[in-house]
Amino acid sequence: MNTPRAVPRASPGAAAAAPAWRTVLGVFKLRIGVLIMLTALAGIAATPNGTLAAWQVVLVACAVLVSSAAAGAFNQLVEADSDRRMARTRTRAFASGALRPGPRWHGLIAALLAVAVAATWAATNGLAALFLAAGALTYAVVYTLLLKRRTSWNIVIGGAAGSFAVLTGAAAADPSLSPQALALALTLLLWTPPHFWSLAIACHDDYAAAGIPMLPVVVGIPRAARIVHGHACAMVAASMLPLLPWTGGSAGAAYAIGAIAGGAWLLLRTQALALEPKRPRAMAAFFASMVQLSLLIVGVAVDAALR
């Protein structure tokens, strides 16, 4: 692993020039949070016998978004120093100096998570609340504090945070957890590594400069590209499980179309990356993973609407 080189504190000029509300909202990683919220809604939709009222669905979605925002803010708070070493992240609010870390931020983050968990418990059940808390703590504590700077397995284990969002929605709808919801949670667990490793290949120099042992930094870009393709194959296979008899064959035609089309596109992009491990190929694989997940979520939602 490369030794981290000293990088001057980023100038707060660009970040400070943005409206204050945008600077604050950027801390919470809301774009990622919306995606995680959608996976929780997919968990609800993937539960055939769910009995949630509309207000409960809205509350669970908001709770997942808030808990994700709390975990995202904690991640930026803790990683301000390493964020300054990376071109992709040095303009983040804490890294640039646009916002100052302090006890108030820790208190706000803890309060947001506590409110989200308590609301989920009160409106649905304890299992859904447990999964919600587990997802946020996996990202904030297990991934950010314990694994990210220590092992290239960081995102493999930390990827469980996305699976917990699916399980939160599914458990809120039915604590017994349907086979399709469990298969979707497994798919999310396997989705995160190839998605993030593709980005890590594209940003290899940034991670090397920050001394973060992402897979491409540890094993090299060519081998990492091959591993991305292998993991993508496993994830696409997992996404087909809801179509099989042992899951009750509960997924419908919309999900089948999304899983097959999205999976094929992703495998084409990751295979191209394995054959030519360059930044453009890595970014193409990264965006293909977003397309694939989006098609799965849309498929689940359409099938649920047609049931």
pLDDT, tens only, 5-60? 444 444 444 444 555 667 777 888 888 899 999 999 999 999 888 789 999 999 99
Q: What is the CATH number of the domain that holds 293?
A: 1.20.120
Instruction: Based on the fold, state whether residues 228 and 243 are members of the same structural domain.
Output: yes
Residue-level pLDDT at 18: 56
Query: Would 274 be classed as within a structural domain?
Result: yes
> Which pLDDT score is estimated for 34?
93
- State the burial class of residue 8 (Cβ atoms within 10 Å of its Cβ: 0-12, 13-18, 19+): exposed
Verify that 185 and 151 share a domain, yes or no: no
Q: What is the pLDDT of residue 16?
A: 43
Is the domain of 237 the same as that of 127? no
| Tens-digit pLDDT profile for residues 200-232 | 999 999 999 888 999 999 999 999 999 999 999
Indicate whether 250 belongs to any domain. Answer: yes
Which residue type occupies 228?
A: V
Residue ranges in the chain whose pLDDT is less than 70: 1-21, 247-249
Query: Which residue among 143, 176, 209 closes a domain?
Result: 176
Residue where one domain finishes, among candidates 148, 176, 204: 176
Q: Within this chain, do residues 54 and 135 fall inside the same structural domain, yes or no? A: yes
Range of the domain at 269: 178-307
Query: Would residue 211 count as lying in a domain?
Result: yes
Residue 165 CA: distances (Å) to CA of 8, 35, 101, 172, 249? 37, 10, 28, 11, 22
Domain annotation covers residue 4? no
Asked whether residue 145 falls in the same domain as residue 57, the answer is: yes
